Structure 1
Amino acid sequence: MPAFRTLTVAVVLLLTALFAPPAVAAAPVPIDDPIPEKPTPSPLTLTLEEFASFPKTETIPEPTDPRLVRWARINYLGELPDGSRRLYANDLNGKLYLLGRDRQPKEYLDVAAAFAPDFVSGRGLGSGFGFAAFHPEFGRNGRFYTVHTEWGDALTTKTPDLPPQPGTRFHGVITEWTAANPRAATFTGTRREVLRLGFSGQIHGIQQIDFNPAARPGDADHGLLYVAAGDGGRGVTSDDPQNLAIPQGKILRIDPDSSTGKYDIPPSNPFAGQAGKLGEIYAYGMRDPHRFSWDSKAGNRLFLGHIGEHAIEAVYDVGPGDNLGWSEREGSFVYDQADRCHLYTLPDDDAQYGYTYPVAAYDHDPPPGHPCTADSGHAIVGGFVYRGDRLPLLYGKYLFGDIVDGQVFYTIAADMREQTGTRATIYQPRLVDAAGRPVTMQDLSGNTRVDLRFGQDAAGELYALSKANGKIWKVTKATYAPSGVLPSFRPGLVAAYDFEHPVPGDPAREQDQGLSGTPISLVNGGAAMRVADGAYRGSTHSLQTRQVDQAATGNDDWKAGVYAETGLPGLRAFNAAAGTTIMGWFKMTGTGPALNTNTPDPADRYGAIGLAGVLSGDSQGHDVRALLELITVEGELRVVALARRVDGSASQTFAADLPWQTILPRDRWVFLAATFDFDTGAMRLYRDGRALDGSYTVDGDPWGLKGDPEPDLTSATDPRGIKIGGSHPQNTREQNPCDCRMDGLMFLDRVATPGEIRAQYALLR
């Protein structure tokens, strides 16, 4: 093209761009069902055993709202941070109880009597003695904090510390108590007022106060008190939650250990020292920040259960300065107070506002015919990420629920990441009582309105509470019962993939049907790798893996798995394990091994065909702790079981005698299993439930079984992942691709017996 012609075209394009009318941003549109996906039923089963029962109490004054008529309005269960192993629980009607080894609640302090006649618990769902928080150094300094509501003379004789709402009807009051003897069974000592807030409504006051349990002396967060202050009910028609000059609709953070006043403002608070903004504010834009907790062993993230207005019950990952958007946003939707029947899609320019959106959420799903402006009876109660030692199947899961109907949910904490732009899947576990009978929280509480709460002790064990009958249950077991799995396998089924359960909203990932809850990625091929070719009775889909381009160097092969350089805690059952079993259904759909795209020789082929394995704790994506695969043994490709007992040490291989084409004929489904006994050194291979003859390929003692220690176990490190259909699931290179299909993959943390493998095959064939 001539130069002048090029210039002319360029000028025309520039003028067009300059004078063209600006693009019109799409306006938000109403949504009838903002979150159509429902909680996913989970094979995880939680056993709830009755732990404690509390005495009946009455509100002050007599309630006008029947929802306040409860047996005992117990609101939380925690453990004193003094090493005594005593638990504490508060009743909104005014009592603070301690529970010792006998689990019998004994009155420690009567908050209602201390603040009579201004104390009120019979007006508003959150009124009364709302929460207690013990200073992390309570055993030394005797200090703890309570929050309660006041009315009556307090409204005229006492002044809030921060701007109150117009027409204030209630005060939320935080008090510091100092016990003369922290070890005493009942409180004696002194008290002082720390903070008083004024609210115009009898709902959404101060819901929780707490200390970060993971903060240690010397940490910036140590001894700082977090205060969840609701919008007083005014946020729906005002900008109070967005107004940084007032405390309502915020999480505040203060330092109650002050020598100059009631409290100090931590200089690390996001708005400290800024003109026109309260330095106490940690995060804002909230309606009813009901319950928060920290995931102390995974980034110390602060998870908040936030009760919505129209439809959205949400969990947020809250950081300093975050704006949750209320009342401009409800969850990740536009809220319009002029339309009480709909939420709206986000505008195209939403990013400019910088709102923080939920990492998990569900909507109300009112029944047909329910008026859209009426309360459908749902409210989230935030819970805890389980990091205890007793229930490995629950490890890394955030347990929470619905206050009203008592439904219990969980999410995978690692999936709750705002940066992904997607909400984590919400699962609904099965509940059983101590006798193993299926139950609901409504069954246990004896009421359709459960008033569910959660508690946690210092060991990380979890508890469920109900105001309906004033009882507490402890979560004592977590087991899995996936379909199509031999019952004896279920307690040790760390991971299982049937390729019938894509992660909601992300079909390029597959949910784990085992205990660990570890989803895998379908690498490079995504959803197209899930093909309609079930291997066994009841299966409709399987996984296709293959080499994509035989001539091009790269890492475009279809494979599956998961990888984390720091290890995957969900796979911790393979740490210090005495045995492992890998099994599943396999069908060869091509020849192999594939051409090696990593070498210049166009005729070179890989020396192996990848099936499935658990990576070692120091793997780069290839080295394994336990593996079922085809590799070259003495110049011939063989079906093998291969494993390392110790990270970085030598491996042992057990190779089948039969030719691999006989074991895995093309276009035929075959059930393969490999077992690894790390204590005895025994390895076995099975085909369609029968043991295969074979031999070990390494002489001597490659696993280092001789001598101490006993028993011989694998390294006590988190595996870095699972690889399926090839190596390097993190997709850094192509290696050992398999042109095959797989179904019903299972990874156990013990050695399955020959009878169990035969029975598992017979169960599904």
Structure 2
Amino acid sequence: MPKTLRCLLVALLAVALCGPQAVALAEPAPVDDPIPDAPTPSALTLTLEEFASFPKTETIPPPVDQRLVRWARINYLGELPDGSRRLFANDLNGILYLLDKGQPHPYLDVAAAFAPDFVSGRGLGSGFGFAAFHPDFGRNGRFYTVHTEWGAALTTKTPDLPPQPGTRFHGVITEWTAADPKAAVFTGTRREVLRLGFSGQIHGIQQIDFNPAARRGDADYGLLYVAAGDGGRGVSSDDPQNLAIPQGKILRIDPRGTNGPGGKYGIPAANPFTGTPGALGEIYAYGMRDPHRFSWDPGAGNRLFLGHIGEHAIEAVYDVGPGDNLGWSEREGAFVFDKADRCHLYTLPEDDARFGYTYPVAAYDHDPPPGLPCTADSGHAIAGGFVYRGARLPALRGAYLFGDIVDGQVFFTVAAEMNERSGRLATIHRPRLVDTAGRQVTMRDLAGDSRVDLRFGRDGAGELYLLSKANGRIWKVTKAAWSPPGVLPSLRSGVVAAYDFEHPLPADPAQEQDQGASGTTISLVNGGAAMRVADRAYKGSTYALQTGQVTPGTTGNDDWKAGVYGADGVPSLRAFNGVKGVTIMGWFKMLGEGPALNSNTADPADRYNAIGLAGLLSGDSQGHDVRALLELITVNGELRAVALARRTDGSASQTFAANLPWQQVLPRDEWVFLTATYDFDDATMRLFRNGRPLDGTYTVPGDPWGVEGDPEPDVTSATDPRGIKIGGSFPQNTREQNPCDCRMDGLMFLDRIATPGEVRAQYELARLR
């Protein structure tokens, strides 16, 4: 059952069970700044190496829109699925190229094949828009293209599905069959598969493609996905919501089937609206304005991510499933779109769930330039990209790389965070770009133009490429490295999470942005922004985190602490699943005598038996059990600095306690750099103070981690950690047991064991001089 119908039935059932509403629902309210969280600077650095340069081409006919005056309108880069490692690229002006070691060679002239009806000089998406090779191209020689036609074609050729009134362009999908799939130049036959009619010269068929993860025998194998825009009419019509027409939809067809119009293609039985009266069986998902680029994530369920260009303000990424309704033009992103008010979007109605709309998993907005009216074009449009699952760049793995077409900004999100059910948008990060000489650059620098016309490509190994129409060039992402400020280069790739307390979330200063690879935002619990205090822990630091007990004499949940918690795990911390080692390091300053007074007992002099510093929770933790922890706890009646960890969920823990009294490890009012390493394979832990190892002893005899015997190596559980805790026992806002009256800074959580030399070097790199 399509999700829209399913949600509608649920809503109707709820009304039937609950009866009439006693209170009137609040009306949607106008919103001036829909998504105040701007893409945030990231510690990820991407190295771009020029890969290919294409010859200059011209539009047909000469353009009237200067935005079409480009060097070469290359629109995509992909790899032929025949094992040859050959890459292909298409130029909207008509040429399909194959690339040999980065050198493009014409393979097929699409413009010449369809002259004089072929048009590429009217509309930003006009021309030879895309090419998709059948997954069995190496044997059957079949591939598919989409191009635009006008002129005589509008009267001599008939669209296969209902056209829009006043049709001005046709979008045409063609099947080509190569006589020799290995040939460097195409010879063979062609046939038309599908023709759609659009009333405008924008938002036509933007992309066609096959699911690359589908294998022979799978239901999705050989089915062609077609992203058809709203033809520019969606803003003034209900076309994207009308299931009787193809515009504003993603279609899915079988190009070798025969049960479609005229027997030219097939309608898959598994499509969500097949057999639904009044609906086109070709429709896979709907409610779209400009479904510009889609791609599948070959990991984590093979989800289909769509980069969708908005009308008023919202550039969005959607996780699209069969039957989904993205809401256009009733919704733009997760906001109400009011056709009568072009200056605002509106908040959702309280009963919005009954409509069953699918909302973005990541999005950013754009505002008109200062001094211009609210309807001014600020030049933003999303360029959808890919989730990196390649092998060469582990620092980029699991990141969805995308950007902005116009200004060429490059962004990424963490794919594991892009979850509609979470109720929040994934954080969008802006990586640093450098050239092969290490110089920081922008895509505008590389393209040599203020309008980049950015696109993304991916080869068969999953490696990523950036394209610019401005100068007709392609760059390959050849390196990706995490470089939080002041982090030893050899440690950077292992920094999963890092917090310097200099990066509040723009829309919520009670949140701190991760400067590590995972993008795991943490909450500053109870104190919010006031917990950032001016104090220099190390060179380059400005602010530190203040934690502590607020009202010792009262039982409550007001203690200042920080962290993140997810009852089902925190997917962005998945790097800690199944690892052989973990490192926790950071700067700490004790302010009180410690431990804190026990507010849960009647004895006013009673104190807790521990002080929480920083830790990573286990996959089954209720907020206290840990995978790795740096803490002060009572050992044999004395408070000691310890490293404590569990290797597997639910198992016993081991503790390594420093021999020195804790007051010598953490003298009051003095910044100290503490490090704990956890080797789960060798069942060893180590503590370091200011880069020097601390002698200590293990408190649990035997083999509490269960590392003896097979299998090898011994690793942590393959479950997502439930979070990070800082300055207490629980990251949730619950009764605190181990508050820390202290300050912290430069906290880092690594998914590997730092060597003693690295610990010492990191301390020397960061310490105050």
TM-score normalised over the length of structure 1:
0.86
**SS at 1:155's partner residue?**
helix
Bigger shift: 490-499 or 429-438?
A: 490-499
Residue 88 (structure 2) pairs with residue 88 (structure 1): yes
1:140 & 1:729 partners in 2: Cα distance?
Answer: 56
1:461 & 1:600 partners in 2: Cα distance?
Answer: 62
**SS at 1:532's partner residue?**
strand
1:27 & 1:634 partners in 2: Cα distance?
Answer: 61
Bigger shift: 124-133 or 560-569?
A: 560-569
Check whether the contact 2:118–2:150 (CA below 8 A) recurs between aligned residues.
Answer: yes
1:63 & 1:458 partners in 2: Cα distance?
Answer: 35
The Cα of 1:367 is off from its aligned counterpart by 2.0
**RMSD between aligned alpha carbons?**
3.9
The Cα of 1:553 is off from its aligned counterpart by 12
**Which residue number corresponds to residue 125 of structure 2?**
126
What 5-or-longer segments of structure 1 have no aligned partner? 1-17
1:97 & 1:736 partners in 2: Cα distance?
Answer: 64
Check whether the contact 2:141–2:179 (CA below 8 A) recurs between aligned residues.
Answer: yes
**SS at 1:465's partner residue?**
strand
**Which residue number corresponds to residue 475 of structure 2?**
473
**Which residue number corresponds to residue 115 of structure 1?**
114
**Which residue number corresponds to residue 592 of structure 1?**
595
Q: Which deviations, in whole Å up to 9, do the C-alpha atoms of 1:166-212 show, x marking residues without a partner?
A: 11111101112223333333333332211110011111100011122
**Which residue number corresponds to residue 164 of structure 2?**
165
* Pair 578,419 (structure 1): closer, same or farther in 2 beyond 3 Å: closer
Residue among 451, 454, 475 paired with 2:453: 451
**SS at 2:455's partner residue?**
strand
**Which residue number corresponds to residue 239 of structure 1?**
238
Q: Which deviations, in whole Å up to 9, do the C-alpha atoms of 1:349-403 show, x marking residues without a partner?
A: 5444333333322223232223443433221111112222322332222211111
* Pair 265,604 (structure 1): closer, same or farther in 2 beyond 3 Å: farther
The Cα of 1:138 is off from its aligned counterpart by 2.6
Residue 755 (structure 2) pairs with residue 751 (structure 1): yes
Q: How does 1:606-617 map to 2 (within 5 A)?
A: 608-615=610-617
**Which residue number corresponds to residue 156 of structure 1?**
155
**Which residue number corresponds to residue 54 of structure 2?**
54
Q: Which deviations, in whole Å up to 9, do the C-alpha atoms of 1:454-499 show, x marking residues without a partner?
A: 0112222211000111111111122233335455543443321123
**SS at 1:327's partner residue?**
coil
**SS at 1:297's partner residue?**
coil
Check whether the contact 2:681–2:707 (CA below 8 A) recurs between aligned residues.
Answer: yes
**SS at 2:41's partner residue?**
strand
The Cα of 1:92 is off from its aligned counterpart by 0.9
The Cα of 1:415 is off from its aligned counterpart by 2.8
Bigger shift: 712-721 or 285-294?
A: 712-721
The Cα of 1:432 is off from its aligned counterpart by 0.7
Check whether the contact 2:368–2:375 (CA below 8 A) recurs between aligned residues.
Answer: no
2:24 & 2:676 partners in 1: Cα distance?
Answer: 61
Amino acid in structure 1 at the alignment position of 2:585: I
**Which residue number corresponds to residue 76 of structure 1?**
76
**Which residue number corresponds to residue 11 of structure 2?**
none
2:628 & 2:347 partners in 1: Cα distance?
Answer: 48
Check whether the contact 2:544–2:744 (CA below 8 A) recurs between aligned residues.
Answer: no
Bigger shift: 176-185 or 84-93?
A: 176-185
* Pair 145,602 (structure 1): closer, same or farther in 2 beyond 3 Å: farther
Q: Which deviations, in whole Å up to 9, do the C-alpha atoms of 1:402-428 show, x marking residues without a partner?
A: 111111112222333333443333222
**Which residue number corresponds to residue 275 of structure 2?**
273
1:335 & 1:498 partners in 2: Cα distance?
Answer: 39
Residue 421 (structure 2) pairs with residue 419 (structure 1): yes
Bigger shift: 461-470 or 472-481?
A: 472-481
* Pair 643,464 (structure 1): closer, same or farther in 2 beyond 3 Å: same
The Cα of 1:292 is off from its aligned counterpart by 1.2
Amino acid in structure 2 at the alignment position of 1:501: H
Amino acid in structure 2 at the alignment position of 1:190: T
Amino acid in structure 2 at the alignment position of 1:365: D
The Cα of 1:623 is off from its aligned counterpart by 5.9
Q: How does 1:555-594 map to 2 (within 5 A)?
A: 560-562=563-565, 568=571, 570-572=573-575, 576-577=579-580, 580-587=583-590, 589=592, 591-592=594-595
The Cα of 1:217 is off from its aligned counterpart by 3.5
TM-score normalised over the length of structure 2:
0.85
1:658 & 1:432 partners in 2: Cα distance?
Answer: 46
Q: How does 1:20-419 map to 2 (within 5 A)?
A: 23=24, 25-26=26-27, 28-29=29-30, 31-100=31-100, 102-260=101-259, 261-419=263-421
2:237 & 2:533 partners in 1: Cα distance?
Answer: 53
- Report % sequence identity: 73
The Cα of 1:673 is off from its aligned counterpart by 2.0
Q: How does 1:428-447 map to 2 (within 5 A)?
A: 428-447=430-449
Check whether the contact 2:412–2:431 (CA below 8 A) recurs between aligned residues.
Answer: yes
1:191 & 1:366 partners in 2: Cα distance?
Answer: 46
**SS at 1:409's partner residue?**
strand
**Which residue number corresponds to residue 10 of structure 1?**
none
1:162 & 1:151 partners in 2: Cα distance?
Answer: 17
The Cα of 1:146 is off from its aligned counterpart by 1.1
Bigger shift: 639-648 or 143-152?
A: 639-648
Residue 631 (structure 2) pairs with residue 629 (structure 1): yes
2:225 & 2:305 partners in 1: Cα distance?
Answer: 13
The Cα of 1:442 is off from its aligned counterpart by 0.8
2:684 & 2:20 partners in 1: Cα distance?
Answer: 78
**SS at 1:655's partner residue?**
strand
What 5-or-longer segments of structure 2 have no aligned partner? 1-18
Bigger shift: 78-87 or 645-654?
A: 645-654
1:138 & 1:736 partners in 2: Cα distance?
Answer: 63
Q: Which deviations, in whole Å up to 9, do the C-alpha atoms of 1:133-178 show, x marking residues without a partner?
A: 1222333433221111111221112110000111111110111222
**Which residue number corresponds to residue 676 of structure 2?**
674
Q: Which deviations, in whole Å up to 9, do the C-alpha atoms of 1:493-537 show, x marking residues without a partner?
A: 3321123434454556432111232333556x4737835364626
Q: How does 1:662-741 map to 2 (within 5 A)?
A: 662-665=664-667, 669-676=671-678, 683-697=685-699, 714=715, 717=718, 720=721, 721-726=723-728, 738=740, 740-741=742-743
Amino acid in structure 1 at the alignment position of 2:285: A
Q: Which deviations, in whole Å up to 9, do the C-alpha atoms of 1:118-143 show, x marking residues without a partner?
A: 21112111111101112223334332
Aligned residues: 742
**Which residue number corresponds to residue 536 of structure 1?**
537
Amino acid in structure 2 at the alignment position of 1:308: G
* Pair 347,614 (structure 1): closer, same or farther in 2 beyond 3 Å: closer
Check whether the contact 1:388–1:461 (CA below 8 A) recurs between aligned residues.
Answer: yes
2:272 & 2:327 partners in 1: Cα distance?
Answer: 17
The Cα of 1:558 is off from its aligned counterpart by 5.3
Check whether the contact 2:580–2:679 (CA below 8 A) recurs between aligned residues.
Answer: no
Amino acid in structure 1 at the alignment position of 2:462: G
The Cα of 1:542 is off from its aligned counterpart by 0.8
* Pair 258,603 (structure 1): closer, same or farther in 2 beyond 3 Å: farther
Check whether the contact 1:567–1:718 (CA below 8 A) recurs between aligned residues.
Answer: no
1:19 & 1:627 partners in 2: Cα distance?
Answer: 52
Check whether the contact 1:578–1:713 (CA below 8 A) recurs between aligned residues.
Answer: no
Check whether the contact 2:690–2:760 (CA below 8 A) recurs between aligned residues.
Answer: no
1:569 & 1:33 partners in 2: Cα distance?
Answer: 27
**Which residue number corresponds to residue 767 of structure 2?**
762
Q: Which deviations, in whole Å up to 9, do the C-alpha atoms of 1:619-672 show, x marking residues without a partner?
A: 776665543223444443321234567888886654222212332345654332
